[in-house]
Each structure stands twice: as structure tokens, then as C-alpha cells.
Amino acid sequence: MVLSAQPSPSLHRTPMFDPESIKADFPILDRKINGQPLVYLDNAATTQKPRAVMDASRYYYEALNSNIHRGTHTLARAATATFENARRTVADHLHAAAAEEIIFTSGTTDGINLVANILALAGTLQPADEILISALEHHSNIVPWQMLCQRSGATLKIIPCLDDGTLDPAAFATLLGERTKVLALTWISNAFGTVNPVAAMTHAAKQAGALVVIDAAQAAPHLAIDVQALGADFLAFSGHKVYAPTGIGVLWGRAAILNALPPWRGGGEMIREVTFAHTTYNDLPFKFEAGTPNIEGAIALAAALDYVNAIGLEAIHQLETRLTRAAAHALATIPGIHFFGPPARAGILSFAIEGLHHYDLGTLLDQMGVAVRTGHHCCQPLMARFGITGTTRASFALYNSQADVDALAQATHKVVAMLR
């Protein structure tokens, strides 16, 4: 089987927006850190929020604040309508077949745990079965499956990665088989920026009869997502990775599969009728949304997606790809530097410098106003695969510019000179 990452859009076009002017939409980017202008390059951890998103949050609390779905008064009806409009915005963004396939969660971690737990409750896996994940996974796409294996007796299998940080296609073809019941795969590695060939791998897994769960936490801010074309069964992402607040996320699932699986959490909203003898569960999506949801978060997430789509994900991807390549070029002259992941990275540049600890490098970069992430990036097995404890990671977003790349390069060269 030959697997190749999905082709990137042409990089020869000029982006349809100016990231320097867009910075004005993000108030926090006016801050100074240690007397230096903030250069924010920690977007893979969380993105900053534009005024449009903060305005949406403020509008909910100032004009709509009420619980939703069951109230008959004006505020309750208005809040409900705005919340459900947000669900439709997310469904359109993902090209879902219906808004009912959109389950609001607290984030990608919550969405993956939801899937793992409802599969456990349904008894989907047996001791002879296997769950297949990759060596590139975030802990959030490892631990829930380990827990499911412990509960079901199934076995967890790992697709290894090659030295360039891409997955081994021959190993995947060997590991995938009739015992594979679940393929859980990250679309883009949060540690290395590797773009996995999720469409081809999903097709192969469906041919083998497996359910496919996609962690799209890093894909959501960089790529257009069409869940129907992708062919997976579940896909999860977090709002705060795509310019929305923390505490809100999405699990998309095929309606037929969600309808067939039992709910995980019990409480209000996920029920149709309750007696002490018996409970009848609600229809989708409410069956999986027990309790009062993050109403403001969902509304703000819709505003964030509207903001991103107004700019265009293809233009954003072009910009971030160009900046990532420029940063690699600017840092490549540092003696002893090693970049992780393939050259075709998606918005992430992860590196180590011989003789320097990543924590020291990140701390000194912060003193110069440059915010990067250091450590294992919640990917300890991946770090162990490469014999390291962590990396320094610069990650880009739609408001980053060549000036930010220049600041990163100048500060890193300066730190290296200080520490050597």
C-alpha cells in the first residue's frame, strides 16, 4: 500500500490577506513581554482570540444569558436559537450530513473519551480484537484507548513512525487486519507537524471493517475538513485551537453509528422520559449532551469559524506553510540544530539544538518576547522513539508574519551564542 499525505494547496499564490493588519483584530498581540513586543508562536497549544469571538461571548452574557431548550421565556428561546445556529455553523464547516451529527464537548480530549466510553458501554470490543493507533499520537489519543483495552481485553497496536517523522506505510498495511476494530489517528501531529494521509488510511481501515476516529485538533485551524469525503466515523477538535475559547469542542459522528451506541453521561437534556423504573433517552444530538452545555462557548466557536472562513483556510494554510519553511531556513545555520518531522510540515516547526536544553532555550526566548512551547508536547512515547525528552516548538497562525519569523531567528541565534 502506498500512502501519501494529501497535497498542499499551491504555494505560488499570494495570500488574500495581510497578517500584519489582521493582528489589529487580536488585542493581546499589542502586549509587551519583558519590554519586548510579543511574538506569539505557541499556536499549537492555543490560539489567540479575535475581537469578533470576544464580542460573541460578551453578546451572549449581555443580551441572551439564559439556559436553553426547555424555557418558554424570551431569553431562553433566543439563547436556544443562537446555540442551535452555532451547531449548524459547525456542521456546515465540517460538511456534515446533518446538524444532529454535531456533539458539543469540552474539547478533543473529551470527544475521544466519549467515543471510547460509548464503545465500551456497547461491548463493541472483545478480547481478541485490536485497536490501532500511531506513534505520533497525543496522550489524549493514547490513554483512552489503553483504558478501553483494559476494560475489554482488546490489544493496542502501534503504527511506528520512520526517522523523518512520517508513519511507516508497510507497517500499517501489516498491522491492519480483520481483528482491527478501531483505527484512532491524528490528522496532524501536534509535536512535529506531520500531516498524516488520513483519507487513504481511513479508506483502508473501512475496507477492513474498522471504525475510524480522527483527532483533528491540529487540522482544524490549518485545513478545510469534509467529513463526508473523508469517510471516517468520528472526528474531534477543540475550539481553542481555532481561535475560539477554551472549554468548547466538537465531536462529529455518523448519525447511524451514534444512534446505535448508548449514551455515556446521564442527566438533564439527554433524556426523553424518566421514571424510577425506566429512562428513555433523547434523540441526537442531545443523547450525548447531558447537563447544561457551554452555551457561550458554542456561540463563540461559531464566530471563530465564521472569522476563519471569511479569510479562507487555503490562504491561511499557504501563509503558515511559507512561514514554517522560512523559519526552518533561518534557523538551519545554527550548528547542531536538528529538525523533527518531514519538510512538508503543517504550521509547526519542532527542533532541538545539540548541547542546549529545550527548557533553557524557551525561557530565554521568552525574555526576548518570543513565546514558544518546550517539552514533550504530551507525546512522551514519540519523544522516547527519538531518544529525547522534548523539543522546542514554534507554531504559526493566521496572524503571524515574516517579522515574527525574523524575531524568532534573531532571538534563537542570540540565545545559542549566550549559552555556548
Positions annotated as catalytic residues are: 378
- 378: number of Cβ within 10 Å: 17
Here the cell at position 320 is 503558515
Element spanning 32, H or E? strand 32-33
CA atoms of 149 and 120, how far apart (whole Å): 9
How do beta strands 155-159 and 102-105 pair?
A: unpaired
Closest CA to 166 of 408, 402, 2, 318: 2
The torsion of the CA quartet 359, 363, 368, 373, rounded to 10 degrees, works out to 60
With b meaning 16 or more CB within 10 Å and e meaning fewer, what string describes 263-282? bbeeeebbbeeeeeeeeebb
CA atoms of 317 and 99, how far apart (whole Å): 26
Peptide bond into 285 cis (omega under 30): yes
Using DSSP, state whether 140 is helix, strand or coil: helix
Closest CA to 115 of 293, 266, 258: 258
Distance of CA 323 to CAs 19, 210, 359, 399, Å?
11, 37, 23, 11
- 199: number of Cβ within 10 Å: 17
Cβ(125)–Cβ(272) below 8 Å: no
Q: What is the DSSP letter of 166?
A: -
CA atoms of 347 and 400, how far apart (whole Å): 11
Kindly tell me the burial class for residue 206, based on how many C-beta atoms sit within 10 Å of its own C-beta (0-12, 13-18, 19 or more): middle
